[in-house]
Copies of this chain bind each other. A is one copy, B any other.
């Protein structure tokens, strides 16, 4: 019997009525002849409320205890969903991450899944039950509870789908699918019927926050098709899968944007071997993700080194960098937070000329200055003035004719 894994986020299980809605959707999937596993997040604001509670007893709550505390949120929604299913006459059972065999490393608050032992899940499915699995959590080899970090329920769902050899992993959320741009900025934005993993990854990591990028990466690695759709409608949604890229290559698929961008420039860096690693090693050790890195052409063996980090990490990054600036003999270090990223995403752009030029022209015609440029196989990103984000996204959406459908 085919296996379907469905995941419902916090807003889809926010109250008793919504939980009953999810129950009906799970039943409907089962009645179509599937074995059904449902992964759920915590109800609505539960996680935020638990964090507030923790902050009342400790300014810096211990991470191991925080993980254990937060893991209760998903247990609550899981058990309520199982009760709702039983009340509707369908056998169901809820399982914690631990019971579902989700083994992680011990990196509390952002644990990585090391493997899944789905014996119990399979046993329960074979009894004809709908199996509810608590998202976002796992257990270490020492039997301590971990969480996978915000949005980790998506990762749970994809991982469980892979471990069961499911036909598809369905991520239900409060949006209809993946759009060519943020519909709040671009009213003409079109829903994509399908998209490749890599393209989705670029869109997800750049702020089209439909789903967690780790989940997409995982799906990509194991070729698990992922359907993103609304939990409040029966619209078809967007299928993220491997076949998409090849068939529909050489085309811009969407415009992504990200407001969480800060720029750091180390001014007057001596151009000699080892300087870059002297700067970036301490950032990596401090777990600060560095994004775009640009080094200007060297004049008289002195250069400027510019890179971006998230606004959230900026203060930490400046603190880490300060002693390094001195030790490498650079002049100073300056930062700018009034920035945003806009990107065009589509597979095969690198091999098809003209995309970059068209992007730069569109921004120029909209009167938007480009501060930094960076490119990858499937995207071209410009760092621009934060205040111009909406204009830039709209201009690019129009320039690549995305309102005509893709």
- Which positions in A face B, CB cutoff 8 Å? 15-16, 19-20, 50, 53-54, 56-62, 64-66, 68-69, 71-72, 75-76, 78-84, 86-87, 93-94, 96, 99, 120, 143-145
Contact = CB atoms under 8 A, between A and B. Distances in A.
B72 A76 contact: yes
Contact of A57 (B20, B57, B66, B120): B20
A252 B11 CA distance: 60
A306 B387 CA distance: 85
A244 to B, nearest CB: 38
Nearest to A61: B83
A374 to B, nearest CB: 41
A71 B82 CA distance: 15
A60 B19 CA distance: 16
Given A72-B72, A99-B143, A120-B143, A79 B65 contact: yes
Contacts of A72: 72, 75-76
A68 B62 contact: no
A79 B202 CA distance: 37
A69 B75 contact: yes
A75 B86 contact: no
A93 B143 CA distance: 13
Contacts of A58: 83-84, 86-87
A61 B145 CA distance: 26
Given A65-B79, A68-B96, 16 more contacts: A15-B56, A57-B84, A58-B83, A60-B87, A61-B87, A62-B83, A65-B82, A65-B83, A65-B93, A68-B75, A69-B75, A69-B76, A69-B83, A72-B72, A72-B75, A72-B76
* Interface residue SS majority, chain A: helix
Contacts of A69: 75-76, 79-80, 83
Contacts of A84: 57-58
Contacts of A144: 99
B87 A59 contact: yes
Contact of A65 (B16, B54, B94, B120): B94
A96 B99 CA distance: 14
A145 B64 CA distance: 21
A80 B68 contact: no
A130 to B, nearest CB: 12
A71 B19 CA distance: 20
Contacts of A93: 64-65
Contact of A82 (B19, B62, B86, B87): B62
A54 B83 contact: yes
B57 A76 contact: no
Residue among A50, A62, A145 with max Cβ neighbours from chain B (10 Å): A62
Contacts of A56: 15-16
A143 B143 CA distance: 13
A16 B53 contact: yes
A80 B62 contact: no
Nearest to A72: B72
Contacts of A65: 79-80, 82-83, 86, 93-94
